[in-house]
Structure 1
Amino acid sequence: MRPQEPAQGGPAAMAAAALPPLALEKLKQRACESVELNAARLGALSHDIWSRPELAYEEHQAHDAMTRFFSSGELPGAAWAVQPRYKLGTAFRAEWGTAAPQGLRPRRVAFLCEYDALPGIGHACGHNLIAEVGAAAALGLKAALESLPQSHPAAVQVTVLGTPAEEEGGGKIDLIKAGAFDDLDVVFMAHPSQENAAYLPDVAEHDVTVKYYGKASHAAAYPWEGVNALDAAVLAYNNLSVLRQQMKPTWRVHGIIKNGGVKPNIIPSYTELEFYLRAPSVKDLSVLTEKVENCFKAAALATGCKVEIKGGEQDYYNVLPNKSLENVYKENGKKLGIEFISDDCVLNGLSEMKRSGMLMTGYKTICWKVKIPQTVYVLCSPKPPAVGGCKCPGQAAATLGSQLGGREAPGSLLRGPRGGELGRRMKKRLETTVLDSWPKDLDKRITKAWKLFLRFSCFLHMGISQAAGLFFTLCEEI
């Protein structure tokens, strides 16, 4: 993957950015009004998804609920063009756009909606809320663009992508490979958390399954005839424990023994382990992976077992920050009364969000393909303010750090004295950030940065992360 070619926008595509400040604020107000207007519909959508949790790639009811929502004639304004089962059985795409002058490519803005759940505990990760927030932000941006005067046209395509299989399997990576993100310029998504932040320094992740094959034998009568696959599994686990002394503080290795044998009096002929490896960058992750695989191979050599090491089909990249979008996002959030955790707390790992948020999320990989902000937002505060208190109903399903599995938690924490206000602010932040996202000279800046980037002959010898980092740094500095 590499940064996309700069879009050919032109005057029409930049017209919204050329609006006077007062007119731009009116657009933001129109977007916020749209959230209020559609609040009941959005809450019902979230509750519908929450009440019927479905696992990765099996989100058929959630898919149908989302496509019905965007196909509904009750939504204000022009209709959305909806594509059910878009490239995956439970993905969808909904689009609306303003007319672009002939020969000009419109700006393509996308909002992502997740809706898969966790085994046994349902929507404890709040993906029903991600779906609701993404849908709301898209409706708000559409309403704002529809209210533009004819003297200030804007060529913009608004896309909503339903991205299944976040918790397992990597649905977003499937969609990247299928070309779903090829024509997009910028993608927005927000995840519920215990804190508000415009950037989550999330890590690269690789999962691996290890299988040891030995030889069964009676453990009491003829133990010397056996080759103990459980010994290999235990030794591999202990090898990793020894490796931890030489691991960087930012590396993580954790796993389980999934199959340890059949009966105590039979020397196990087969064992299986599953591990997740995480590191701050793709480069670090490759180093960690090699060390871990050597631990697995050493265990096989020591016990005489055969070993099979299989990496997961989808690797997750680390997040590439986008300072411009992060700053605009925070500016709009503060205007709506949102308090953000400090950058130092996020980067130094002092936040609950970072400690609990080393996510296996395909959203991280998208940022290597399309410009994105990685935003997280609080829905339920451990220390609620005096006004209203923390009355997120049920106190269970959808906030990180809340108790899991409560049956009475409704699908939307966006209702209620605190939940409703925070949820509406979250949606408005995404909309108003889009309206502020493009400075007047953005096309020129990106084009200039791209030309400078190509002049650096050294980029041919760089890894993906270094080359992408160089390009984005040039964009910020110009």
Structure 2
Amino acid sequence: MTGTTGTTGTTGALKEAARREVDRHAEELIRLSERLHADPETAWEEHRAAAAVPEPLDRAGFDITTSYLGLETAFHARFGSGPVRIALCAEYDALPGLGHACGHNLIAASSVGAALGLAAVADDAGLTVEVYGTPAEEGGGGKIEMLDRGAFAGMDLAMMVHPAPVDVAEARPFAVSHSKISYTGRSAHAAAYPEAGINAADAFTVAQVAIGLLRQQLPTSARVHGVVTHAGDAPNAIPERATGRWYVRAETLAELAELEPRVMRAFEAGALATGCELEIEPESKPYAEFRTDETALAHYRANASALGREFAPPGQAARMNRASTDMGNVSQTVPAIHPYIGIGSLPATNHQHEFAAFCVGGNAQRALLDGAVALAWTGVDRSSSRYASASS
């Protein structure tokens, strides 16, 4: 069956049909992206996004499940009954204080577009097309929660495309843990009764100094960073409570397991030095490193290049592919790819207000539609490879 896929039609004809379907929905996809961009919702609070994103799929005849697997802001959409199962991941959470500065509005719309394109050829390509609405990528581990509840089982390929300043095909994200750090001390009047207080803000100062010194002995690939989210309410009252959020990153989950206890000891030092009580609360299970499906990645490269996309050379311009993602956990379970698609934003980069501004407009629209087509074509290629392998 070389040159064919599914039950009827050449790969080229199926790809062209998928592209036509994406083009037919172009205005609708752009409106969806702009709607999400104008109304950002943070992790686990994406109620309006979770309702809006599956609307085009519902109109196209997908079977929609809301509050999927008991998660209020997750959904699942399914079309077709072919033996090759393709999953498209739609992220739609925003960043606190920055809105869609990581372009998840474009991710959601591109995945919907790819699904619509594949649905148009599902019967002929032998496909089942599934869209997973995945909440809380920005630190909440939404995909990990979904995996733990049975999502993605039996997928032949899971995909999404992520906005970045430039195009980078291969994701190489760090493994990462996310922790909420809380110190509890005792308040007192800072001038009249300072000896009666136990300063929770000082505990963070000690911890951050310890982390700064620890960095000298960490592997060059390690990253430790965080923010203090609360450290007192009045300058004349010794802070009785201080809280923060901290990330620890490493090349792999195995390396992270060795590194994280060393960082946590720095927080313990803050508690010991000040007399505060310390609470460390994981915000999610750790994100894993990414295991790329090389065959699918080669197909994506070829498809994106056929659309006129140019991949950045290694170096500074391509560094976004190191950003951690819970899609790494999906890739440990089923074959997956997570390419980055450029929106021409340099010098603005992800997680900046300036990048958020680039996630709408002409370059963003082209990236959205190119990403949808490239993913759809890669899904067709996956089916073609499966059928060719079965007949050889």
Q: Which amino acid aligns with 1:403?
A: E
Q: Which runs of 5+ in 1 are unaligned?
A: 1-10, 101-105, 149-153, 384-395, 446-478
Q: In structure 1, what is the Cα distance between the partners aligned to 2:277 and 2:366?
A: 58
Q: Which residue of 2 aligns with 1:468?
A: none
CA distance 1:319–1:220, change in 2 (3 Å): same
Give per-residue Cα distances to partners, 1:33-91, cap 9 Å, x unaligned: 2222221222222222223222222222222222322222xx4xxx2212222222122
Q: Which amino acid aligns with 2:158?
A: V
Query: 1:382: Cα distance to partner?
Result: 4.4
Seq. identity, %: 34
CA contact (8 A) 1:193 1:400 kept: no
2:74 to 63, 84, 91: 91
CA distance 1:228–1:120, change in 2 (3 Å): closer
Q: How does 1:133-212 map to 2 (within 5 A)?
A: 133-146=110-123, 148=124, 154-212=125-183
Q: In structure 2, what is the Cα distance between the partners aligned to 1:269 and 1:50?
A: 38
Q: Which amino acid aligns with 1:270?
A: R
Q: In structure 2, what is the Cα distance between the partners aligned to 1:232 and 1:423?
A: 45
CA distance 1:401–1:270, change in 2 (3 Å): closer
Q: Which residue of 1 aligns with 2:354?
A: 403
Query: 1:357: Cα distance to partner?
Result: 5.3
CA contact (8 A) 2:221 2:251 kept: yes
SS of structure 1 residue aligned to 2:280: strand
Q: Which residue of 2 aligns with 1:296?
A: 267
Q: Which amino acid aligns with 1:90?
A: T
**1:333 pairs with 2:304:** yes
1:367 to 315, 328, 331: 331
CA contact (8 A) 2:36 2:105 kept: yes
Query: 1:377: Cα distance to partner?
Result: 0.4
CA contact (8 A) 2:102 2:355 kept: no
CA contact (8 A) 1:86 1:92 kept: yes
Q: Which residue of 1 aligns with 2:25?
A: 38
Q: Which residue of 1 aligns with 2:87?
A: 110
Q: In structure 1, what is the Cα distance between the partners aligned to 2:139 and 2:101?
A: 15
SS of structure 1 residue aligned to 2:370: helix
Q: Which amino acid aligns with 1:47?
A: E
Q: TM-score, structure 1 length as denominator?
A: 0.73
Query: 1:192: Cα distance to partner?
Result: 0.8
Q: In structure 2, what is the Cα distance between the partners aligned to 1:287 and 1:358?
A: 20
Give per-residue Cα distances to partners, 1:356-407, cap 9 Å, x unaligned: 5553532121111211011110122549xxxxxxxxxxxx9x977671565x
Q: In structure 1, what is the Cα distance between the partners aligned to 2:189 and 2:229?
A: 22
**1:62 pairs with 2:62:** no
Q: Which residue of 1 aligns with 2:317?
A: 352
Query: 1:259: Cα distance to partner?
Result: 3.1
**1:16 pairs with 2:5:** yes
Give per-residue Cα distances to partners, 1:275-317, cap 9 Å, x unaligned: 1111111111112211111112223223333322222233211
1:270 to 241, 254, 257: 241
Give per-residue Cα distances to partners, 1:132-176, cap 9 Å, x unaligned: 111111111222334x3xxxxx54211111112222422222211
Q: Which residue of 2 aligns with 1:391?
A: none
Q: In structure 2, what is the Cα distance between the partners aligned to 1:302 and 1:85?
A: 46
Q: In structure 1, what is the Cα distance between the partners aligned to 2:366 and 2:196?
A: 69
CA contact (8 A) 2:345 2:355 kept: no
Q: In structure 2, what is the Cα distance between the partners aligned to 1:304 and 1:61?
A: 44
Q: Which residue of 2 aligns with 1:451?
A: none
Q: Which residue of 1 aligns with 2:282?
A: 311
SS of structure 1 residue aligned to 2:99: coil
Instruction: Point out the structure with max Rg over C-alpha.
Output: 1
Q: In structure 2, what is the Cα distance between the partners aligned to 1:119 and 1:230?
A: 22
Q: How does 1:421-460 map to 2 (within 5 A)?
A: 421-437=366-382, 438-439=385-386
CA distance 1:63–1:238, change in 2 (3 Å): same
> Cα RMSD over matched residues?
3.0
The structure with higher relative contact order (CA 8 Å, sep 6+) is: 2
Q: Which residue of 2 aligns with 1:28?
A: 15
CA distance 1:51–1:256, change in 2 (3 Å): closer
Q: Which amino acid aligns with 1:108?
A: R
Please say which of residues 201-210 and 159-168 is displaced more in the overlay: 159-168
SS of structure 2 residue aligned to 1:110: strand
Q: In structure 2, what is the Cα distance between the partners aligned to 1:19 and 1:39?
A: 27
